[in-house]
């Protein structure tokens, strides 16, 4: 099963309409995205809780790392640079943090609020190598902007 992003965007929009609590929004987005595609082995948010620090937020899958500094890993790179990180082979990513030994590829997207501040990153891991495409990144970025851009 591969994500139908048009349907996913409509479903998430309907489920989150009127909601402004970031944790409630993160939990809903995580659940919907995680179950939308067989490639998605771990799906969740790392929240910016203080300058330079990400802490685990709502997620689906096995345990995640609890704290990730902006200076380390794929999630840290997305938070630090504000750019999507599309990593086809995590073993080739300098400084990758192996929260799960099964992870082979990763897609991490910065999450911005309505004031364009990075409030979190959205992390999707796959146990398949080269699992993600630019189309995945673009569609998920659009969904995140629609959901979190209003808070």
For residue range 7-54, list pLDDT tens digits in order: 999 999 999 999 999 999 999 999 999 999 999 999 999 999 999 999
How far, in whole angstroms, is CA 115 from its chain's centroid?
19
End-to-end Cα distance, the chain? 32
**Which of 105, 122, 106, 93 lies closest to 33 in space, CA to CA?**
122
Determine what percent of the chain is predicted with pLDDT higher than 70: 100
For the purposes of burial, counting CB atoms within 10 Å of the CB of 97, is it exposed (0-12), middle (13-18) or buried (19 or more)? middle
For position 21, which CATH number holds?
3.30.450.40
Number of independent structural domains in the chain? 1
For residue range 86-96, list pLDDT tens digits in order: 999 998 998 77
Q: Summarize the confidence of residues 79-107 as an average pLDDT.
A: 90
Q: State which residues form the domain around 73.
A: 5-148
Can you give the pTM of this predicted structure? 0.96
Question: Strand, helix or coil at 90?
Answer: helix
């Amino acid at each position: 099963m591969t994500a139908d992003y048009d349907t996913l965007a409509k479903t998430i929009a309907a489920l989150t309409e009127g909601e402004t609590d970031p944790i409630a929004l993160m939990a809903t987005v995580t659940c919907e995205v995680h179950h939308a595609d067989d490639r998605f082995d771990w799906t969740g948010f790392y929240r910016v809780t203080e300058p330079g620090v990400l802490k685990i937020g709502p997620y689906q899958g096995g345990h995640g790392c609890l704290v990730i500094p902006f200076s380390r890993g794929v999630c840290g790179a997305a938070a630090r640079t504000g750019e999507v990180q599309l990593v086809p082979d995590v073993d080739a990513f300098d400084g990758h943090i192996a929260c799960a030994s099964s992870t082979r590829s990763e897609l991490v997207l910065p999450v911005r609020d309505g004031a364009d501040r990075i409030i979190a990153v959205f992390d999707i891991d796959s146990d398949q190598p080269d699992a993600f495409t630019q189309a995945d990144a673009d569609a998920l970025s659009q969904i995140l902007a629609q959901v979190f851009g209003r808070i």
